């Protein structure tokens, strides 16, 4: 049975670990920071008056800093 062959099992195990490591590093470096940024933006309370008068430099600086 090829599932129990040690040589085949070792190579499958190695490639699985490599693939999972690549997926994990992609998740940590790319996807999670974007989700954090979107959640931070969504959590900032903005009223309609602030959106109409966007000439406040501090507000613009805070929004661009996110």
Could you tell me if residue 58 is inside a domain?
yes
Domain span at 44: 6-65
In a domain, 1, yes or no: no
* pTM reported for the whole predicted model: 0.56
Q: Tokens 């693939």 — which residue? A: 19
The answer to whether residue 51 is domain-embedded is yes
How many whole angstroms separate alpha carbon 38 and alpha carbon 66? 9
Q: Which two tokens stand for residue 43?
A: 């959590």
Per the domain annotation, does 19 fall within a domain?
yes
Please give the pLDDT value at position 33: 92
DSSP 3: G
* pLDDT (tens digit per residue) in 18-44: 999 999 999 999 999 999 988 888 877
Number of domains composing the chain:
1
């Amino acid at each position: 049975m090829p599932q129990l062959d040690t040589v085949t099992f070792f190579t499958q195990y190695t490639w699985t670990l490599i693939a999972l490591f690549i997926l994990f590093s992609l998740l940590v470096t790319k996807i999670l920071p974007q989700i954090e940024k979107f959640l931070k933006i969504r959590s900032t309370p903005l009223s309609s008056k602030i959106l109409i008068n966007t000439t406040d430099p501090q507000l613009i600086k805070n929004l661009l800093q996110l």
